[in-house]
Structure 1
Amino acid sequence: MTPSVPASLPAVQKIDPRILRSRRMLIDALARLLTQKSFEEISVQDIADEATLNRATFYLHYPDKSSLLQAMAAARFRDLVERRGLSFNSCEGGLRAIALGVCDYLAASPGCPGGLGKMPLEDSIIAVVEDIFREGSGQHQVVPGVDPELVFTTAAWAIFGAARLWLTMRDRVSAEEMADRIEAIVLPMLMHATER
């Protein structure tokens, strides 16, 4: 149940460059719009217009604006993880890497101009973290009677909540130290949910 090798984080699979360009344009458009207004005030048409694409192109890539926000969060998270040189090549250290990535993600978000700092962080980054756990779960047997989705959600919210608390601490420790603390709290829960 501990995280390992999420295919979606370390590398982008080979996808047609035109698809990647359109997705990047949509993500960049949403990021620009979030500096001007709240996520709730932004429509799919606003995003398409800002990206100089049509609505049909938007819907070819994303079913709704929340999916685009999640894609934007995943891209930002991936960039932050890559900048630190973090690896998900094994279960060992994977949870710490996720916690450190979430701390970095939250630390980078409030400093953004205007509405970007107000975007619905819970909806975006928690879904990304849940997906990482989901992808890594294939290498672990879950204890009978344990709902893996409940474990993924609980662990993701625990990491997010602890990182959010860290961000507001007056005498904040380093992100690395906080990641160690988060790992010490969340890892036993994940280990308890899996068979050894």
Structure 2
Amino acid sequence: MADAVQLGNTAENTDPRVLRSRQMLMEALLRLLNRKEFDDISIQEIADEANLNRATFYLHYPDKNALLQAMTAARFRDLIARRGLSFTDCDGALRAIALGVCDYLAETVGCPTQLTKMPLESSIIPVVEDIFQEGAEKHGITPSADSRMLATTVAWAIFGAARRWHQTPGRMPAEEMAAKIEAMVKPIFLTAST
């Protein structure tokens, strides 16, 4: 399913009509989630709400779960972008990603109740893994280290710590938690870097 929501660098993914249709479908699903439970929403309802036909839905997503995952991933990527994450310099990248995850989870509180109950990690973890995989490829890791395993380990560590933070009443500010996550996760990277 992750392949269905991964956007490569093809002309189709930069075509304004494709991007507009995907955005319309995501916005339609979000509006419907404000009125109904996810399980009670049909693909036809999503298409109708987006003023698109059902066939257009299937041109972009194989099912409504893929649309939900794409919507979650897009929102998370927007939060990461707002933090100015760049792999031209690794300093602060771990903290920026951790802060993005914390921000995402904190903002989920304003979403419909069922979104807070959904397994958001299925959308966030692959995005974080890809960010770390890209960074590992650009900056090199020791030949004995498996960059994909490293990315997975770090992504789950960040998400797990951020989720625990989010579920804690009277929690510390996100920036402070991101610094703590960075301090815990950085040794994993240091042991695998060249």
TM-score tier after normalising by the smaller chain length = 0.7 to 0.9
Q: Secondary structure at the match of 1:77?
A: helix
- Aligned counterpart, 2:171: 172
Return the structure number with greater relative CO, CA threshold 8 A, min gap 6. 1
- Aligned counterpart, 2:3: none
- Aligned counterpart, 1:5: none
Question: Deviation digits for residues 52-79 of structure 1, max 9, x if unmatched?
Answer: 2223212222333333223212321233
User: Are the equivalent residues in 1 in contact too, given 2:13–2:19 (CA < 8 A)?
Assistant: no
Work out the percentage of aligned pairs sharing the same amino acid: 61
- Aligned counterpart, 2:161: 162
The CA distance in 1 between the partners of 2:130 and 2:37, in whole Å, is 25
User: How far does residue 169 in structure 1 lie from its aligned partner after superposition?
Assistant: 2.0
Higher helix share: 2
User: Are the equivalent residues in 2 in contact too, given 1:33–1:42 (CA < 8 A)?
Assistant: yes
The CA distance in 2 between the partners of 1:37 and 1:190, in whole Å, is 43
User: How far does residue 106 in structure 1 lie from its aligned partner after superposition?
Assistant: 0.1
What RMSD, in angstroms, separates the aligned Cα atoms of the two structures?
Answer: 2.4
User: How far does residue 82 in structure 1 lie from its aligned partner after superposition?
Assistant: 4.1
Normalised by the length of structure 1, the TM-score is 0.81
Greater displacement, 93-102 / 24-33: 24-33
User: Are the equivalent residues in 1 in contact too, given 2:99–2:178 (CA < 8 A)?
Assistant: yes
Alpha carbons of structure 1 residues 103 and 141: separation in structure 2 relative to 1, 3 Å: same
Q: Any stretches of 5+ residues in structure 2 without a counterpart?
A: 1-6
- Aligned counterpart, 1:107: 106
Normalised by the length of structure 2, the TM-score is 0.81
Alpha carbons of structure 1 residues 142 and 46: separation in structure 2 relative to 1, 3 Å: farther
- Aligned counterpart, 2:97: 98
Q: Secondary structure at the match of 2:142?
A: coil
Question: Deviation digits for residues 18-71 of structure 1, max 9, x if unmatched?
Answer: 111101001112212323344444443332232222232122223333332232
